[in-house]
Structures are given as structure tokens and as C-alpha cells.
């Protein structure tokens, strides 16, 4: 007998009252910082014509994406920890999974597009404006969202074709693909293989673009004649490299390995990093490690003063 479920219970961190209290304060605080930081980044780029370049076009879109990405998870999780409202409707869970997969996948492709942009700027500086045209940048952004749509449709469709047999608890603080699969009473082998194949290919594919681009970038930087030019070239890439390490490190640990559904307790803690911490850190990483953004911010603050 299969009973259609109308809602799920998000049980992540429920057995750790101390953690719930801490997270009920941290989650809304980090969410506010995320939204304010990324909105400020977008305004800085939008208001300074000197930053209207392909690199900052991608960065502006990344900031908007990070707000959406965090908004899918953090407000709902805050309600669970603060007010103990842990129930989520069946359709609400499917929607959350859909948009989480959409924005997460899109971010991976954004980071790959930004790596290609840095490769072109450093390895082909004379052709940079020709290659990285406005049309290509828009195409890359649209292609990233399209790839995200394909992945989230596959993941959500396969996951919610499973039966749950009245089992409502999801051992996570949001409707993650692996956690929902783990709650099913169906044979989940096909779903796990699909998740591993699709997510693994996306992570490996985008990471390859990043690593190949930065391989050529490092070789080009090392061949530069002066220490000043090497330092300047490296400074334009350091913030992006930091973001890449954080995002791909946690994502590959979660989704690009066999048995990803077998460790829900471990995944709860790791998920906090790529759903909440990384979107919060991105504007600070790109501000404090980028002279152009810092210079633009100081100039705009002086005008306000």
C-alpha cells in the first residue's frame, strides 16, 4: 500500500537543541549580510561605468544569483529552527528542490564562464574585447540558466517519481535531492546513479573548464617579464580562485561521489557552507581582494559624502 504524502518534516539538527539555538541566530544574520552584501556589489558595478566590463557583468549576475540561491533555503530553515515549524508541503518541497538545483547548477556554470573570461583577459589580452563581446557574455549567462533548468528538471522529476509510504521525515534542513531520496521506500539505485551521473558530469565538466583555464593562466603569468605585471595579473584571479575552491570543494564532496545519500548527518553540516556561507562570503571576497572594486567603492562613498 502506497499512501500519498501531503507534507514532509525537515528533521535536520532536530536532535541537537544547542545547534538549533545557535543556527536560529546565525541563519537570519548571515542571510541579511548575504542580501545586503550582494545588493551593494550590484549597485557598485551598476553605478561605475569603469566596471562595465565582461568580468563585472558576470560578477553582477553572480551576486543576483547568490541572493536567489540563499533565499530558496535560508528563510525556510530559519522558521524551522526559530519557531520549530518543520513541516513543508509536498509541492513546497518539490519547488524548493527545483529552484535549489536550478541556482546551484547555474552557479557552477557561472564560475566556469568567469574562469574562461580571466583566461581570455590574461592569455589573449589584445583580442579580449573582440572575443568577450556583449553578445557572448549574455549567451553564456543564458546558457548557464538553461543548463540549470535541464538539471533541476531531471533531478526533481526523478526524485518525486519515488514512493514514500507514509514516511515523512527528511533528515535535512531543506529538501536536498540526496536527503529526499534517502527518505523514500522505493528502490533508489536508479535515482542515485542518475544523481551521480548528472551532478558528477556537471561538476567535473565545469571544474575541467576552470582547471584548464587556470592552467594556461598560471603558465602565462609565470612567463611575464616583471614581478609587477605578474602580481597584477594574479590579483585579478585570486578572488575568483578562492570562490572556486570553496564552491567546487563542497559540491564535489556532496554530489560527485558514490553513496552521497548514505551520510545525511554529515551532509547537513557541509550543506551550510555552500547554501549559506559561500553566498555570504562572495561579495566580501570580490571586494577586499579587488583593487578596482575597492577604488570604485571609495570613489562612490566620497561622492555621497
- Domain assignment present for 50: yes
Helix, strand, coil share of the chain (percent; to 5): 80, 5, 20
Question: At residue 6, what are phi and psi to the nearest 5 degrees?
Answer: -100, -20
Q: Which of 35, 58, 181 is nearest to 119 (CA)?
A: 58
Report yes or no: 85 and 182 within 8 Å, Cβ to Cβ. no
pLDDT of residue 257: 55
Q: Spell out the long-range contacts of 218-224 with Cβ–Cβ below 8 A and sequence spacing 24 or more.
A: 220/122, 220/123, 221/122
Our CA dihedral for 72, 267, 83, 23, rounded to 10 degrees, sits at -100
Compute CA distances 140 → 97, 101, 206, 223, 224, whole Å.
Answer: 24, 18, 13, 30, 29
Give the burial string for 229-268 (b: 16+ CB within 10 Å, else e): eeeebbebbebbbebbebbbebbeebbbeeebbeebeebb
Does residue 129 sit within a domain?
Answer: yes
Quick check: is 271 in a domain? Answer: yes
Mode of pairing for the β-strands spanning 87-89 and 169-170? unpaired
DSSP 12: T
Q: What is the pLDDT of residue 261?
A: 46
Residue 305 in domain:
no
Residue at 295 is within a domain:
no
Q: Does residue 281 belong to any structural domain of this protein?
A: yes
The SS3 of residue 7 is strand
Domain for residue 303, yes or no? no
Q: Is residue 2 part of a domain?
A: no
Tally of domains in the chain? 1
For residue 288, the model assigns a pLDDT of: 66
H or E segment to which residue 169 belongs: strand 169-170
Q: At 186, which CATH number? A: 1.20.1070.10
Q: Could you report the average pLDDT of every consecutive run of 10 residues in the chain (305 residues)?
A: 72 71 87 93 86 89 93 89 84 93 93 92 89 94 95 92 80 87 85 86 90 91 83 77 81 60 62 85 77 73 70
What is the DSSP code string of 241-291? HHHHHHHHHHHHHHHSSTTGGG-HHHHHHHHHIIIIIHHHHHHHHHHHT-H
Amino acid at each position: 500500500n502506497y499512501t500519498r504524502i501531503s507534507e514532509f518534516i525537515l528533521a535536520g539538527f532536530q536532535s541537537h537543541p544547542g545547534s538549533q539555538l545557535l543556527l536560529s541566530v546565525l541563519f537570519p544574520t548571515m542571510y541579511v549580510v548575504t542580501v545586503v552584501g550582494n545588493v551593494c556589489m550590484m549597485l557598485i558595478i551598476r553605478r561605475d561605468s569603469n566596471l562595465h566590463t565582461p568580468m563585472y557583468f558576470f560578477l553582477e549576475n553572480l551576486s543576483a544569483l547568490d541572493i536567489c540561491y540563499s533565499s530558496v533555503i535560508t528563510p525556510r530553515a530559519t522558521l524551522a529552527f526559530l519557531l520549530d515549524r518543520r513541516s513543508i508541503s509536498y509541492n513546497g518541497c518539490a519547488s524548493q528542490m527545483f529552484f535549489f538545483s536550478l541556482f546551484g547548477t547555474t552557479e557552477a556554470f557561472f564560475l566556469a564562464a568567469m574562469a574562461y573570461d580571466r583566461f581570455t583577459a590574461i592569455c589573449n589580452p589584445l583580442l579580449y574585447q573582440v572575443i568577450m563581446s556583449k553578445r557572448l557574455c549574455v549567451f553564456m549567462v543564458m546558457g548557464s540558466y538553461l543548463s540549470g533548468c535541464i538539471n533541476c528538471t531531471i533531478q526533481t522529476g526523478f526524485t518525486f517519481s519515488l514512493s514514500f509510504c507514509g514516511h515523512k521525515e527528511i533528515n535535512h534542513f531543506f529538501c536536498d535531492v540526496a536527503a529526499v531520496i534517502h527518505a523514500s521506500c522505493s528502490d533508489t539505485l536508479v535515482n542515485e546513479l542518475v544523481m551521480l551521473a548528472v551532478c558528477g558530469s556537471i561538476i567535473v565538466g565545469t571544474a575541467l573548464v576552470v582547471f584548464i583555464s587556470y592552467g594556461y593562466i598560471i603558465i602565462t603569468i609565470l612567463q611575464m617579464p616583471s614581478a609587477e605585471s605578474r602580481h597584477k595579473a594574479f590579483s585579478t584571479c585570486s578572488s575568483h580562485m578562492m570562490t572556486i575552491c570553496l564552491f567546487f570543494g563542497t559540491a564535489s564532496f556532496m554530489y560527485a561521489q558514490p553513496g552521497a545519500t548514505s551520510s545525511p548527518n554529515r551532509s547537513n553540516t557541509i550543506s551550510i557552507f555552500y547554501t549559506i556561507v559561500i553566498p555570504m562570503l562572495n561579495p566580501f571576497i570580490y571586494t577586499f581582494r579587488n583593487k578596482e572594486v575597492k577604488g570604485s567603492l571609495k570613489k562612490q562613498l566620497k561622492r555621497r559624502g
